[in-house]
Each structure stands twice: as structure tokens, then as C-alpha cells.
A and B are shown apart, each in its own frame.
Chain A
Amino acid sequence: MVDIERQEETYDLVAPGQTYESVTESIGGLVLNNRISLKWLLALGFSACLLSLFVGAVTWLVLFGVGIWGVNIPVGWGFAIVNFVWWIGIGHAGTLISAILLLLHQSWRTSINRFAEAMTLFAVMCAGVFPLLHLGRHQYFYWLMPFPNTMGLWPQFRSPLVWDVFAVSTYMTVSALFWFVGLIPDLATLRDRATNPVARVIFGALALGWRGSALHWRRYMALYLILAGLSTPLVLSVHTIVSFDFAVGIVPGWHSTIFPPYFVAGAIYAGFAMVLLLAIPLRATCNLKGLITMRHLENMAKLMLATGLIVFYGYIMEVFFGWYSANPYERYMTFNNRMFGPYKWVYWALIVCNGLVPQVLWFRKMRTSIPVLFATALVVSVGMWLERFVIVVTSLARDYMPSKWGNYYPTAYDWATYIGTIGLFLVLFLLFVRVLPSISMSEMRELVHHDEHAPQEA
């Protein structure tokens, strides 16, 4: 049994000395102990304050309408769409870790997939809030879905906005299923170890009576692999369709074929930044340094660097297309508007945050320094938000006709709603960490099993 109280930093996949039992102890113990740490309580209290900001802002919005926001013609999209794209992009890293890295046999994904999937679910919830609020007439939200109605109408299925409804709702459903299926064996472990009778009943009901039968595992693994195979194109399709919301429109700066791949890369970039922002405090406060090791942090930093370079290439190509298209509107859009227009500081801040700062990750010393990683992830998160602001706002603010130009400035309600969703996300995440195992115990046992045999195979 390893000393789980004091763990050294390690570059192994699993710290030496971990056994099936120590995995159950260190992960399951976090959920089953009765202690509520002061740090957790303070974090929850702070997040709940932000969440109450959200509740207040949304209540005001429902009472008085979207006029309390800064959106107007010509910039009708504003913060709502910026935040929608930002949040949904953050979710993508969770699916990438849980599905794509599983198919690619990247066993280092094992200790980060569970909480990354939870992050996906909560980020998609935060994302989903914005289009619903942005509708204006919130009470008719169900008109987005096809259903037989007295008007005899159907949604406009040729519109990317309707594709988006299907993509996001499917993504949310499949991510939730994938997450729950992964949780079933761990819920059974908690059922068998819980001493509190209420906890036993709750975990027992959620575990559905899982008993680890070989036949059950056979069907389970078949399902898990196929779900991973389905989630892989699904996650690519979701941000592709989000990018179609822009790329299908004939607006300068939007109508571009580079949008789908560059959006998907940007999503994964922002998502890994968020996984790092969550993993670093999680491993430090919950004694999980032996399970989420420096190897994991370094690998995530490498993925962030790689996707960041794709995104930076996207920025360069946008500028190149703007010039090479010889289209006066595209050229005006790229140079006079984005780079040196009314929002020039946002554009240059974005280049610094997403293009320049992450280049420090080329150096191993930087990738393995926790403060540098945390700061870089924070900068990238801000940068990706600025990117969506540039895309949404600059193009709409300077359209074809100077007579319909107009700037957009967010109001206090815009900020309150945005910061409020961060509160919603943090509250959900903190509750998740307390009541469910934040690392998959059954998959970690598999990893410990393979680790034991590695020297013999070599």
C-alpha cells in the first residue's frame, strides 16, 4: 500500500507501488469519506456566488427580454454566441480524451478521462443555455425541434442553425450515455464499500446491480468501444456544424472553407487548457499525484501545443486568403477591420494569447513546471474566448455597407451571464468531484494490471 498522503512527482503512467486496492482506496475514498474539506467548501461557496449572479441575470432577462444585452442590429449575435461556441469547444477535449485516445490505445488517457467527460457534460450544459436565452421568446424553445403542430410547419432543415440543434442535443445525449456507462462498474465498487446505508442504496440503485460478470463485461466492452467509435466522428461533426453557422453565411470573414478544421482544432485546444486548469488543482488537493502524474500533464501540454499550432496556422491562412482572394470586402475585413479597426486590441490580444504565449511549451522545462502550465492554460482559455469574439463581432460590425455599420459593446448583464455560467460550471464540477469517483477505478485497475506485466513482456 503506497503512502497516499505524501507522493513524489513521477513521470510514470502510474506511480510505483499502486495496487488494485490502493486505486480503490485513493479514488473511492475521496467519495466515501465523511470529511468535507474547508478548501472544497470555500471553492463551492465562491462558485455558488457566481452561480447566483447567473440566476439573477437570467431572471432579469426572462422578465425584460434580450434588450438588456448589448446586442442590436447589425451585431445581433454578441456574447451569447461567443460564449456558446467557447463553452461547446471546451467540451470537445473530454470526448477526445475518452473516445479518440481510447481508439488510439493511448493508455495515459485513463486517469483523466472521467473528469474530462464530466467537464464535457457541464460545458455543454453551459453552452446550451446561451442559444436558448438568445431566442428572445424563451417560452417557444421547443419550436427548434420538429413536432407535429397546428401551424403545419417544420423547422428549416436546410439551415445550419437547425443542424446545430441536432448536433448539440445528440452530443449531449451521447456524452451523458458514455459517461454513465463508464461509471457503472465504479458505482458497483462504491455500493460494495459504502458504510453509510443511504449511500449504499443510492450507489446500489445507480449501479443497476452490476456484478462484474464476464458475460456482462464482454457486452460492456463491445458497447464501450463502439460508443468510442461513434463519438469520434460525432465530436468532429459538432464543431464542424458550429463552424457552418458562420461559414455558410455570406459574410466577409465567415464564408471560408478553413472554418471546420480550424474550429475543431480550436475546440480541442481550448478543451485541453480547461482540462489542465481542472486537473492541476484536483491532483494537488485530492492526493492524486500518483494517478494523474507529470506524464499526463506533459502529454496534455504537448497536445495543446500541437492543436495551438493548427489554430495559429488557421489565423495565418485567414490573413492570406483575405489578401489572395482579391475581394475588396474580404481584404477590408482582414486588414482594415480586424487588424486595425475598432476591435484591433481584441485581435492582437488573441494573437498574443493563442499564438505567441503557448510557444513556451516547446521547452520541456516549461511543460513540466506546474505554475507555467497553469498560467499558459489560463492564457489559452482567454485567447480562445477572444478568438470567438473577433469572429462573431468584427464581421457583423463592418458589413458590406458603411451605412449599416455599428459597434457592439457588452452590458453588465452580458458579463453577469457569462461569468455566471462559469459559476454554474464550477458548482457542477465541485459537486461531481465530491459525490462520484473523478477517476475511473475499473480502468485504473486495468492499467495497474498491465503495468505489472510490462517488464515480463519486454
Chain B
Amino acid sequence: MDQVVERPSAIEPAGAGGALYGLMAEFPSPETLVAAGRQVREAGYKRIDAFSPFPVEDLSEALGFRDQWVPWLMLLAGIGGCVGGFGFLWWCTAVSYPLNIGGRPLLAWPSWIPITFECTVLASALTGVLGMILLNGLPMPYHPVFDAPGFERASSNSFFLCVEARDPRFDREKTQALLASLGALSVSPVEQRK
């Protein structure tokens, strides 16, 4: 495999650029990306992220992500929607405008099941989608990684691993050498725009 490892002189920040955001390594396949991610993490790096054009199995575990917010938010919102929907129906039908139909109980719960169910699903789905978008910090039109060379391929056919400069173990040359030794096609610096 051809390894296009750029020389250290090539990673000097460009004149107009700002602070270094991190080092971006490009990998040829999902497997090499997962393996590299695992090794970088085992080398002690914490501030790392990977970019792929489709969800890669085991990748987030390899990088040590444990986030479980979305399922919990959806569960809580679902419970809220269920209780809220049922409570609202009860309040409307039994408190705000009690309607006596042939002496039947005002708490007509069997006929509230469909609407309660729909409220559960609606609350959970809306919260899940909003939660996913906001937890991911989206919408965010600009991010430093978009400036990485060839990053437009991250949404089509290439796989990237980024070690951020704010990681305490980050050292431009050592990190660069580590990434290159893991089979990266190229390693390039990413700068933060001013």
C-alpha cells in the first residue's frame, strides 16, 4: 500500500491559519479505521474522533464513547407523553367538561387508550430527533475538520481519524508518527479558522 505520509515540515501551520485543531489521518477501509482508533485510544489519547460515510460497527466502542443519552431521553419523553396525554384526557373529560353518558364512569379509560398511545409515540419521537440533533451540537455549518484535505470524501468513500490538539498527550510529531504507523494513507494537520 502506498503511504503518503507528509513530512513534518509540511505540517507547519500556514501563515493565515489559526491554532492547530488536530491531526487528521485518512484510512482506506472501516476495518483499518476501527483498528487504528482502538490503538490510538490504547496509547492513551482521549480527545479523538472518527469520521465515516456510514455507521461503522464497533467504532464508537473502540474510541471509548459511552453516550446513552438518546435512548434515556426517548424513554423519559415517552413516559411523559403517556402520563401527560392520559392526564389531559382525564382533565378534559372528567374535570373541565364532565359529560354524563348513560351514567357511565367519567374515567372512560378504555376509550382513551388510542390517544394516550399516540401521545407517547409523538413525545418520544420528537424528543429523540431533537435530542440527537442538539446533543450532536447540530446545526453547525462550520467545523474545523471540514478544512482537512480530502475531507469531502468522508461522506462518500473514505474513513478519517482525528486526534485533537487539546488532548494532553498530543505531540505533533509523536502523534503523527503513531498515526502513520497504523496504516494511514495520509496524515494532515487541521487548523482552526480565526
| A interface, CB within 8 angstroms of B | 19-21, 24, 146, 152-154, 156-158, 160, 162-163, 166-167, 170, 173-174, 177-178, 180-181, 185, 188-189, 191-193, 204-205, 208-223, 226-227, 230, 233-234, 237, 241, 244, 442-443, 445-446, 449
Contact = CB atoms under 8 A, between A and B. Distances in A.
Interface string B131-143: 1110110111111
Contacts of A177: 125-126, 129
B63 A214 contact: yes
Nearest to A234: B121
A189 B59 contact: no
Contacts of A216: 136, 138
B74 interface: yes
Closest A-B pairs by Cβ, 8 of them? A20-B157, A208-B139, A192-B152, A218-B60, A209-B140, A163-B114, A154-B92, A214-B50
A209 B139 contact: yes
A152 B99 CA distance: 13
A160 B118 CA distance: 13
Given A20-B157, A157-B112, A214-B63, A208 B54 contact: no
B19 interface: no
B53 A189 contact: yes
A170 B121 contact: yes
B35 to A, nearest CB: 14
Contact of B114 (A167, A222, A227): A167
Given A157-B112, A193-B156, A212-B155, A146 B74 contact: no
Interface string B34-74: 00010000000000011111111001100101011111001
A234 B119 CA distance: 11
A157 B132 contact: no
A420 to B, nearest CB: 29
B59 A217 contact: yes
B118 A212 contact: no
Interface in B89-108: 89, 92-93, 96-97, 99, 101, 108
A146 B125 contact: no
Contacts of B129: 177, 180-181, 223, 227
How large, as a class, is the contact surface on chain B?
35 or more
A67 to B, nearest CB: 32
Nearest to A181: B129
Nearest to B120: A230
B49 A189 contact: no
A209 B138 contact: yes
Contact of B121 (A162, A230, A446): A230
Given A163-B114, A223-B70, A204 B141 contact: yes
A227 B114 CA distance: 19
A435 B99 CA distance: 51
Contacts of B65: 214-215, 218
B22 interface: no
Given A189-B155, A208-B138, A219 B52 contact: no
B22 to A, nearest CB: 13
A217 B69 contact: no
B148 to A, nearest CB: 10
B14 interface: no
B145 interface: yes
A233 B138 CA distance: 29
A157 B115 contact: yes
Contact of A212 (B67, B71, B154): B154
B49 A215 contact: yes
Contacts of B112: 157
A174 B155 contact: no
B114 A241 contact: yes
Contacts of B93: 154, 157-158
Contacts of A209: 138-143
A219 B69 contact: yes
B183 interface: no
Contact of B111 (A24, A158, A208): A158
12 contacts: A20-B157, A158-B101, A162-B115, A170-B118, A181-B132, A193-B156, A213-B51, A214-B63, A216-B136, A223-B132, A237-B118, A446-B54
Given A174-B125, A177-B129, A221 B55 contact: yes
A210 B69 contact: no
A5 B74 CA distance: 45
Contacts of B141: 204-205, 209
Given A157-B111, A174-B122, A446-B54, 16 more contacts: A146-B88, A154-B96, A154-B97, A163-B118, A192-B156, A193-B152, A209-B141, A211-B145, A212-B154, A214-B49, A215-B136, A219-B67, A219-B70, A222-B132, A446-B55, A449-B30
A406 B48 CA distance: 74
A216 B155 CA distance: 13
User: Which of B59, B125, B128 gathers the greatest number of chain A CB atoms within 10 Å?
Assistant: B125
A445 B54 contact: yes
Contacts of B142: 209
B128 A220 contact: no
Nearest to B104: A158
Contacts of B69: 219
